[in-house]
Amino acid sequence: MAPSLCAQCKTSRALILRPKDHTKLCRACFLTTFETEIHHTITSTALFTRGERIAIGASGGKDSTVLASVMKTLNERYDYGLDLILLSIDEGIKGYRDDSLETVKRNAEQYGMELCILGYDELYGWTMDQVVEQVGKRGNCTYCGVFRRQALDRGAARLGVKHVVTGHNADDVAETVLMNLLRGDLPRLSRTTSIVTSTPSLTADPAANTNIKRSKPLKYAYEKEIVLYAHHKNLDYFSTECIYSPEAFRGSARALIKNLERVRPSAILDVVRSGEDMAKLVPGSDEGCGGVCASSVPAGEEEEGGCGSAQGRSSGGEMATMEQALSSNDHAADNGLEIEITTSKIAKTAAPLPLTVGKSRKVPKAPHASRTQPKKQVMGQCKKCGYLSSQDICKACVLLEGLNKNRPKNHIEVGYEPDKEVSGVADAVKDIHVGAG
């Protein structure tokens, strides 16, 4: 097959076939085109303001590495006047982040950016390893997922940064659109298609976690092109199999997207655009009211899947395998949160109750959240931490409350207060009824 020439410069050999329009480009033209399109996304949405301090949510993975590299390039090329820093979250899982944090540290040097690594212990008072020790392996994914969703916002608040950018790409958005479509959840769909999923400032308190703006400059960038960009630009990134599995539903949506892309590459952007158009039809959508109306969902509440998802994704088959591996020791790997809390309480006093009957896979809900309808959420702030929440107390704070109540381990309180233990079990059982109903 004769090599084809680049459609743009018409001199170099074409190496890239663009999924969105089948243009054939050489390496240099591809890199420039990719960057220019991100620039257009940024300027057409007026994403940044001059002098703004921006935290780039960095995991060392391909998406955030490409985001950091492109942000640096554009900030210099077009003189955005942005102050860019890298913000990484360490869940505190021994060994898990070692390699990816090393990658982020190298990136910080390569890009000449300040790097801040915040641990779950600093943000929540608990590392994931400690959580696992407390609740067992089974429930930890719920904790990690809920904590992760707020971690960047909490971290940014710590640093006094008001705007966090994440590496979510077109494939991620398309996947989320499909998931919400399949769930019939248009309000949430409308929220997640927006490029800025900012948590609106309900208070004037600048320290509140709720005042952080979140955006995704790579929203229209194909994952395929992100990987090709990293490859052709020789970027240093880290890949891993997610050690905790996102929900199977997300994996299926993912596989569907990738299969569609094989047959019809434009499908990914088409789904993103359809999502945006549908969002406009949703009453009280972000498009109409700037994101402060009742249908809003807090930034991170939905767009990132289970544990490790946004930056750490694996395919359906892998997830199944991972799941099996993870649950080999314990048979009820995917129960909701309610049950997890219960088993952890009970584990100390009695044999585990057969609580798993009839529990179907669904998005885990905090006990307090399960009583309300998901469709008509009224956004307020968590009374404890100030994070935007549809409940009085946000999911993270509910989980933390449970953890802190049971913090014992060091205190050897088991057996000293049998009454308390018993009532704990009773409470937990009550919660199960609520949760399953």
Partner 1 sequence: MSDAKDEGMIKITVEFSGGLEMLFSNERKLSLTIPAKDEDGTRSNIAFLVRHLCDTVMKDPRKELFVLDDTVRPGILVLINDADWELEGEDKYEIEDGDNILFVSTLHGG
Smallest separation, CB 239 to partner 1 (Å): 3
* C-alpha span between 193 and 186 (Å, rounded): 11
- Report phi then psi at 336, rounded to 5: -70, 175
The least distance separating partner 1 from the CB of residue 86, rounded to whole angstroms, comes to 13
Task: Kindly state whether residue 38 participates in binding Zn ion, applying the rule CB under 5 A.
Answer: no
The answer to whether residue 233 forms part of the interface with partner 1 (CB under 8 A) is no
Give the contact letters, 111-140, x = binds to partner 1 (CB under 8 A), - = no. Answer: ------------------------------
C-alpha distances (whole Å) from 257 to each of 164, 176, 267 are 27, 10, 8
User: Using alpha carbons only, how large is the chain's radius of gyration in Å?
Assistant: 22
25 to 64: interface string for partner 1, x by CB under 8 A: --x-------------------------------xxxxxx
**Backbone CA torsion sign across 389, 205, 208, 64:** positive
Instruction: Note whether 91 and 148 are within 8 A (CB).
Output: yes
Task: Quote the distance between the C-alpha of residue 82 and its chain's center.
Answer: 24
Residue 12 contact among Zn ion, partner 1, none, beta carbon within 5 to 8 Å by kind: Zn ion
Enumerate residues 317-356 that contact partner 1 by CB under 8 A: 317-318, 321
Please choose, from the candidates 426, 398, 386, 387, the residue with its C-alpha nearest in 3D space to the C-alpha of residue 337: 398
Site string for partner 1, 63-82 (x = CB under 8 A): xxx-----------------
17 near partner 1, judged by CB under 8 A: yes
Among Zn ion, partner 1, none, what binds residue 207 when CB lies within 5 to 8 Å by partner kind?
none
Q: From CA 64, how far away is CA 58, in angstroms rounded?
A: 5
User: Shortest distance, CB of residue 384 to Zn ion, whole angstroms?
Assistant: 4
* 358-397 residues near Zn ion, rule: CB under 5 A: 382, 384-385, 387, 394, 397
Question: Which token pair is 317?
Answer: 């088959």
Give the one residue of 50, 94, 262, 433 binding partner 1; rule: CB under 8 A.
262
C-alpha to C-alpha distance for 341 and 432, rounded to whole angstroms? 10
SS3 category, 328: coil
Tell the smallest beta-carbon distance from residue 75 to partner 1 (Å): 22
C-beta of 118: minimal distance to partner 1 in Å?
A: 17
Residue 227 contact among partner 1, Zn ion, none, beta carbon within 5 to 8 Å by kind: partner 1
Q: Give exposure, 270-297, as e/b (b: 16+ Cβ within 10 Å).
A: ebbbbbbebbeebeebbbeeebebebbb
Which of 71, 179, 242, 397 forms a contact with partner 1 (CB under 8 A)?
242
The reply on whether position 224 binds partner 1 by CB under 8 A is: yes
Residue 426 CA to residue 413 CA, distance in Å, equals 18
- Rounded to whole angstroms, the Cα distance separating 267 from 287 reads 23
Q: Look at residue 9 and give the partner it binds from Zn ion, partner 1, none, a contact being a CB closer than 5 to 8 Å depending on partner kind.
A: Zn ion
Tell me which residues touch Zn ion (CB under 5 A): 6, 8-9, 12, 26, 29, 382, 384-385, 387, 394, 397
